[in-house]
Chains A and B, each alone.
Chain A
Amino acid sequence: MPLRSKPKARDLARALAATAALAGLVATTACGSRAGEETAATESCVDTSGDTVKVGSLNSLSGTMAISETTVRDAIALAVAEVNAAGGVQGKQIEIVAEDGASEPTVFAEKAEKLIREDCVAAVFGGWTSASRKAMLPVFEDNDSLLYYPVQYEGLEASENIFYTGATTNQQIIPALDYLVETGVESLYLVGSDYVFPRTANAIINAYAEAHGIEVLGEDYVTLGSTEFSTIVNQVKAADADAVFNTLNGDSNVAFFREYANVGLTAEDMPVMSVSIAEEEVGGIGVENIEGQLAAWNYYQTVDSPANTAFVEAFKAEYGADRVTSDPMEAAYNSVHLWAATVEKAGSFAVEDVQAAADGVSFDSPEGTVVIDGDNHHVTKTARIGRIDADGLLYTVWESDGPIEPDPFLEGYDWAADLSVTE
């Protein structure tokens, strides 16, 4: 907001100045929230003497990310209930301490600190945006505690104190590109929200395109939450690419797909491959605007496996038949089970024991068997391309030959050599 204006009435000028003061206030408190983190706790206060053990569930229950993260909270609660019903971990019942990250990375850091120091939780499950993960990372490292992060992300990270149960780029974006190449796509148009994940994803896509002879006809970013797409969609239409690669996040997808359908573009003449649209988001966009478009994930509600049937049934029984399950929810659900299995294997709740025992721990999850890689703390995942159908669900049209080993730094790809060094 322009604060330099001098409206006629003095009151107004003061009011505008107050806006600046308010913004300043928010900024100051935000910076202040990290104070006190410097004194790292050497001793963990996790209490395992009783017959319960606490874990943290840290998700945005308010703010712009609440739309997605509340579903993850539900999935975590479901998994904890299942583990408890099966006798708990090491004979102890799990007790959830829930906190609201409020869609603010600094709040995530603050609440993580609180969960570790005051509630003495054995592990924390949650986080969604890369910004929230990056803000929490030093907290978990300084306090030597554990975070299970359940969302696909841009890779190029591997902390001893974080287990990444969502896909890294070689389990989602690269398979999606492989699929497009397989179907004869020779040119792409990239559309994304303006923050770390889409920027990094598009850097990878550009490197991939160069190595595979794909022409990138355009690359556009909009601010998070923007709903103004007429120019971009007209440019996409004019560019006439074979496909669009969409890394938009959140509400922007609604405006983008409505505009896309309105100018007459369809999945037949220019398919859109999205990496942030799951079952939960399709409802808000309106299935008539997105039917036939593609998405890249590791899990869909429609995956045909006994483990998934049980997961979907249990979820609907708990939260209502109209609810859907999605990839990040499934990854969060897996996180709890993986943590419980690791603790059982280690025979201890201590962080160093869990870290040491993690390698090779597996869980027969709804998406298939997932196995923890002890070196980079990611898990093996099966890549799946899904097509959005008229019922609002996604159906697998292609899947990788078995689970893909996680490679967060893309060390196995020659063309990505320059990417790993740049953040």
Chain B
Amino acid sequence: MDLLVGQLFTGLSTGSILLLAALGLSLTFGQMGVVNMAHGEFIMAGCYTAYVVQQAVGDAGASLLIALPAGFLVGGAMGLVLETLLIRRLYHRPLDTLLVTFGVGLILQQAARDVFGAPAVNVSVPEALRGGVDLLGVTVPRTRLFIMALAVVAVTAVALVLRFTPAGRRIRAVVGNRDLAETAGISSRSVDAATFFIGSGLAGVAGVALTLIGSTSPTTGQSYLVDAFLVVVAGGLGRIKGAVVAAVALGALQAVFETYSTASLAKVGVFIVIVVFLQLRPQGLFTLRTRSLA
């Protein structure tokens, strides 16, 4: 029983990792409808930002604090460039967007390999985050607690920006009805660019945080991409709330399944649940009511 309770906590932690990886995507894919296959590579760019900052600064604790905003800027800048140069020109061609961003992802992977070398690099975990804390019969690593806290902060920040700032209002207006928003004087181009900047920046932040638990190699981002899409689709497009609930639910499902079977089988179980769920509720957990005619 203790193990089960503990596993639920593990699920929460797994969920927060999923959420961090998926949060940026829930903006670019969920809000804007851009299928960005290079999202994983933005996460990878965040990982390498953490590595570069650590090489420059030395102290693991200080470098983590610098790397988090730096990762946001690096990811965001890459997203902005991608949006301006390519995605903007392909807004009504989803198939082409998918292929182009897939290709960009491969180019970024190879670029990372050329710059940093193929072997994984090591990003040291700050002394304060090493070791674990005993909670309900399981030892929870401090790094995971940090990621949970970071996920909460990131979601809160995104929610506040969307709800209370003028920029956030404009984003919501464009998502709700692009034509009407434009008629009201909102430049949907600059809103798209801003949304993509924030979404990609969040991928960078996720990358920095994920160096605490995973490896940093050119293919790091790929392993998170599918999970991130799952979270956004299951949660319902366009809803941050949906991404939060879906991430935690998927994390908990994975953890519980894993307790009673093996990790690969648990993955299969989670996929089956998602397939069945989407059969019953194709729009995902939460739907966004809009006035657009699409």
Q: Is A373 an interface residue (CB 8 A)?
A: no
Residue in A5, A8, A11, A231 whose CB lies within 8 Å of B7: A231
Within A19-46, the residues touching B (CB, 8 Å) are 19, 21-22
Contact A234 B213 (CB under 8 A): no
Q: Is B58 an interface residue (CB 8 A)?
A: no
Given A5-B233, A8-B288, A286-B124, residue A15 in contact with residue B98 (CB < 8 A) = yes
Given A5-B282, A62-B110, A285-B122, residue A262 in contact with residue B294 (CB < 8 A) = no
Nearest A residue to B139 via CB reads A263
Contact A258 B143 (CB under 8 A): yes
Contact B219 A255 (CB under 8 A): no
Within B95-139, the residues touching A (CB, 8 Å) are 95, 97-99, 102, 109-110, 113, 118-125, 130-132, 138-139
Q: Most chain-A CB neighbours within 10 Å: which of B109, B144, B219, B271? A: B219
Nearest A residue to B215 via CB reads A254
Distance to closest chain A CB from B249 (angstroms): 14
Q: How far is the CA of A28 from the CA of B100 in the complex (A)?
A: 20
Among A148-156, A220-228, A380-388, the stretch in contact with B: A220-228
Among A64-72, A331-339, A346-354, the stretch in contact with B: A64-72
Q: Is B183 an interface residue (CB 8 A)?
A: no
Contact B219 A2 (CB under 8 A): no
Given A221-B263, A230-B10, A230-B14, residue A238 in contact with residue B3 (CB < 8 A) = yes
Residue in B124, B140, B229, B263 whose CB lies within 8 Å of A1: B229
Q: A2-B275, A15-B97, A227-B210 are in contact. List 16 more A-B contacts (CB 8 A).
A: A5-B233, A7-B282, A8-B238, A8-B288, A8-B290, A9-B33, A10-B294, A11-B33, A16-B35, A225-B222, A225-B223, A234-B139, A251-B223, A263-B132, A284-B216, A286-B124
Interface residues of A (CB under 8 A from B): 1-2, 4-12, 14-16, 18-19, 21-22, 61-64, 66-68, 70-71, 194, 219-223, 225-228, 230-232, 234-235, 237-238, 251, 253-255, 258-259, 261-264, 280-281, 283-288
- How many interface residues does B have (CB within 8 Å)? 76
Q: How far is the CA of A228 from the CA of B264 in the complex (A)?
A: 11
Contact B230 A1 (CB under 8 A): yes
Contact A22 B14 (CB under 8 A): no
Q: Most chain-B CB neighbours within 10 Å: which of A2, A220, A286, A287? A: A2
Q: How far is the CA of A232 from the CA of B253 in the complex (A)?
A: 15
Q: How far is the CA of A22 from the CA of B106 in the complex (A)?
A: 14
Contact B220 A66 (CB under 8 A): no
Contact B214 A255 (CB under 8 A): yes
Interface residues of B (CB under 8 A from A): 3, 6-7, 10, 13-14, 17, 33, 35, 92, 94-95, 97-99, 102, 109-110, 113, 118-125, 130-132, 138-144, 210, 212-220, 222-223, 226, 229-230, 233-234, 237-238, 254-255, 258-259, 262-264, 267, 271, 274-275, 278-279, 282-284, 287-288, 290, 294
Contact A226 B118 (CB under 8 A): no
Q: How far is the CA of A211 from the CA of B31 in the complex (A)?
A: 59
Contacts of A285 in B (CB 8 A): 120, 122, 215
Contacts of B213 in A (CB 8 A): 227, 255, 258-259
Contact B274 A9 (CB under 8 A): no
Q: List 7 A-B contacts (CB under 8 A).
A: A6-B282, A11-B33, A12-B94, A225-B222, A227-B213, A262-B139, A288-B124
Q: How far is the CA of A215 from the CA of B65 in the complex (A)?
A: 46
Contact B262 A220 (CB under 8 A): yes
Residue in B95, B130, B140, B223 whose CB lies within 8 Å of A227: B223
Give chain A's interface secondary structure class: helix
Contact A9 B294 (CB under 8 A): yes
Residue in A16, A221, A262, A280 whose CB lies within 8 Å of B131: A262
Q: Most chain-B CB neighbours within 10 Å: which of A2, A64, A228? A: A228
Contacts of A226 in B (CB 8 A): 223, 263
Contact A18 B98 (CB under 8 A): yes
Q: How far is the CA of A14 from the CA of B99 in the complex (A)?
A: 13
Contact A258 B125 (CB under 8 A): yes
Contacts of A251 in B (CB 8 A): 120, 214-215, 217, 219-220, 223
Nearest A residue to B7 via CB reads A231
Contact B94 A15 (CB under 8 A): yes
Contacts of B229 in A (CB 8 A): 1
Contact B132 A62 (CB under 8 A): no
Q: How far is the CA of A14 from the CA of B238 in the complex (A)?
A: 17
Contact B233 A14 (CB under 8 A): no
Contacts of A64 in B (CB 8 A): 219, 222
Contacts of A231 in B (CB 8 A): 7, 10, 254-255, 258-259, 263
Contact A264 B139 (CB under 8 A): yes
